Amino acid sequence: MTRTDNVLDYLDESFYRDYRAQGHGPMIQFVWIYDHDVDLDALRRFHRNLGTGLLGRCVERSPIPFSRSRWVAWSGPGDLDVAPSRRSREDVTAWTDEQAARRIDIENGPPWRLAVQPLEGGGAAVTLVVSHTVADGVGVNDAVVNAVRGTGVDIGYPAPRSRSRMQALRQDLRQVLRDLPHAGKAVVQAPLAAREMPLRVRPSRHSEIARRATGGPVLRSTAGGGGSPGNEVVPTRSGRLPSVAVLVPTAHWDQRAESLGGTSNSLLVGLTSRLCGILGWLDADGLVNLTFPVNERTPGDTRGNALSSASMTVVPTAATDLRGIRAEVKAALVRLSKIRDRVLAPLALMPFVPEFIARRMQNVVLKSANITCSHFGDLDPAVNRPDGTDAEWFYARHARAPEMADPELLRKAGGIFFPIASGRLGGRIYISLCYCDGDGMTTAEQLAEAARRALDDFGISDFVIR
């Protein structure tokens, strides 16, 4: 995409169509926890700076239903959202859930939100929630770095509704004509892509399959409890999905990876697969279907989602040797290099898919056995300094609107498992989880216990769960 080209990339259009079909879409949430009081003036400057670059935009819908939409400039954020009273540190997770549940509007704004919650005894929690349509994890990371350093650049998008209806019709019709050859190729490539990336669904009795695959009991929640009163999260009553963040010193993590014959990435894959086994998130063969995004963002890249995805299947057992998983990760990346264009080609059909079909497609995807594991790698130290000073704790996670906690949706989907987010910053690696089973009664304490079991299976003993 050039500076003057504000037409959405096909993958961004796909995210946008998902948003329109569902009325909400995936989000990325950064969380900073300070043990010392934050500099509000510096945070307000950070807040203003975020309004430039990738985050300084919204989507303007095309008047032609089967045309790609366009980026337009967003007028920018209002004042920083600072809570008027302090809350306890035990409430930080609940507060971040509340912030993720607030409305994000990628058509009219705001496409993102920054909020601050002062904490009892000093310190504060800060969170940034961004629509995944506007930017992927690496894009949000870059936007944060630029905002901290004050190096953001105005991309030069036109103002909203700056085109007359007639101009919009003419321009977008020409765009449709330019897109038709891509759509024609997509029709040919779609069956090939389906064979390359088959969608495997979870069986209705996936807990029994998991028990056979892992050789141990599967985490099951009950309506009567399983977690402490302070940690219990019941979506059928609160509209929230349980989530936890695991933080491990990078030295300990790397030592465990090396001792198991693997790398940081292969240990993350192994841990993810073990978690899926414990939670029963498996296909009919008792295997984990894992997808990991591959960053393709280049300098000056203005795509919201500049990535492709590699996939692999993993046996969800505790590993004493990661060499096999390490080889499988390499093989998945080699395979992606060969099939990338083929599997991405069908995205050119997205503008032509009616919303009612898009909604049906989403219902099918919700029953998928796939789990996505997003690893951001080593983050720039500036990410940890939204007010100019280092936060004591940081993690990022994937989030969605509270509609995803609807009991009927959970029942039909058989549960929900958000993409796992991971990254390295400030001497720690974080791993963020959000999961709920089909009965909607999983608690945060039960999810934390599943994480402890998986960590113990890989000999990881030095960690904090928030």
pLDDT of res. 238: 53
State what percent of residues in the chain have pLDDT above 90: 77
Q: Kindly list the domain boundaries of the chain, sorted by start residue.
A: 10-152+163-184, 240-379+410-465
pLDDT of res. 109: 94
pLDDT of res. 269: 97
Calculate the CA 383 to chain-centre distance: 17
Domains 10-152+163-184 and 240-379+410-465 share a fold: yes
Residue 17's identity, in one-letter code, is R
pLDDT of res. 363: 74
**pTM, entire model:** 0.92
What is the assigned CATH class of domain 10-152+163-184?
alpha beta
pLDDT in tens, 310-359: 999 999 987 789 999 999 999 999 999 999 998 999 999 999 988 888 88
pLDDT of res. 200: 79
Cβ 366 vs Cβ 417: under 8 Å:
no
Q: Span 240-379+410-465: which CATH code?
A: 3.30.559.30
Cα–Cα dist 255/277, whole Å: 24
Sequence-separated (6 or more) residues with CB below 8 Å from residue 231: 443, 444, 445, 448
Each of the 466 residues of the chain gets a pLDDT tens digit; together they read: 444 689 999 999 999 999 998 888 999 999 999 999 999 999 999 999 999 999 999 999 999 999 999 999 998 888 899 999 999 999 999 999 999 999 899 999 999 999 999 999 999 999 999 999 999 999 999 999 999 999 999 999 999 999 999 999 999 999 999 999 999 999 988 887 877 777 778 886 444 444 444 444 455 544 333 333 334 434 444 568 999 999 999 999 999 999 999 999 999 999 999 999 999 999 999 999 999 999 999 999 999 999 999 999 999 987 789 999 999 999 999 999 999 998 999 999 999 988 888 887 777 778 889 999 999 999 999 999 999 999 999 999 999 888 888 899 899 899 999 999 999 999 999 999 999 999 998 999 999 999 999 999 999 999 999 9
Sequence-separated (6 or more) residues with CB below 8 Å from residue 296: 306, 307, 308
Task: Classify residue 298 by burial, with Cβ atoms within 10 Å: 0-12, 13-18, 19+.
Answer: exposed
User: How many alpha carbons fall within 13 Å on the CB side of residue 148?
Assistant: 17
Cα–Cα dist 437/273, whole Å: 17
pLDDT in tens, 177-197: 999 999 999 998 888 787 777
pLDDT of res. 97: 93
